[in-house]
């Protein structure tokens, strides 16, 4: 009985370490999308644009602040779904993640935010497009 208790105690103590992201590990696409969206939520468009991938089109960059400013402050955002794709319209073949959120803003009660990310050669995700429907 004591060995069982000791094993359970050891397992419980190890769980927090197992749940942590290993040093140097890249965030999952939805975590990376949330990191980027926090910059946009704070109206830090320059940093958001600087973190976007090379595939980003000029028209996407120019429209970022015009898209978000009228909606006002972020109220709530919940992950809706994530789709992994090998191709994405207007982009070269590669690995893409399309992350969608059900979102609520001060000036827009309901919206679906879509953040598309591309896997870079370094194994990290970079935002390549953003839209709100």
Where does 22-132 sit in CATH, by number?
A: 3.10.450.50
| pLDDT at residue 51, rounded to an integer | 86
User: What are the DSSP calls for 17-48, one per residue?
Assistant: HHHSPPTTPPPPHHHHHHHHHHHHHTT-HHHH
pLDDT at 80: 98
Q: How confident is the model at residue 61 (pLDDT cuts 50, 70, 90)?
A: low
Q: Which residues contact 79 (CB under 8 A, 6 or more apart)?
A: 30, 99, 100, 101
Q: What is the DSSP letter of 105?
A: E
**pLDDT for position 55:** 60
Inter-residue contact 105 to 73 (CB < 8 Å): yes
Across the chain, where does the E strand assignment appear? Answer: 74-85, 96-105, 108-119, 125-132
Q: Which residue has the tokens 């942590």?
A: 20
Residue with more model confidence, 1 or 6: 1
The more confident residue out of 26 and 117 is 117
What is the residue extent of each domain of the chain? 22-132
């Amino acid at each position: 009985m004591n060995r069982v208790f000791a094993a359970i105690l050891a397992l419980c103590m190890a769980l927090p370490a197992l749940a942590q992201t290993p040093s140097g590990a890249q965030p999952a696409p939805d975590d990376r999308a949330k990191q980027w969206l926090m910059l946009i939520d704070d109206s830090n468009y320059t940093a958001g644009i600087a973190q976007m991938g090379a595939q980003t089109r000029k028209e996407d960059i120019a429209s970022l602040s015009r898209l978000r400013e009228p909606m006002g402050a972020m109220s709530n955002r919940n992950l809706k779904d994530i789709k992994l794709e090998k191709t994405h319209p207007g982009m070269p073949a590669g690995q893409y993640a399309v992350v969608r959120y059900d979102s609520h803003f001060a000036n827009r009660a309901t919206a679906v935010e879509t953040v598309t990310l591309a896997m870079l050669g370094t194994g990290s995700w970079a935002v390549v497009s953003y839209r709100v429907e």
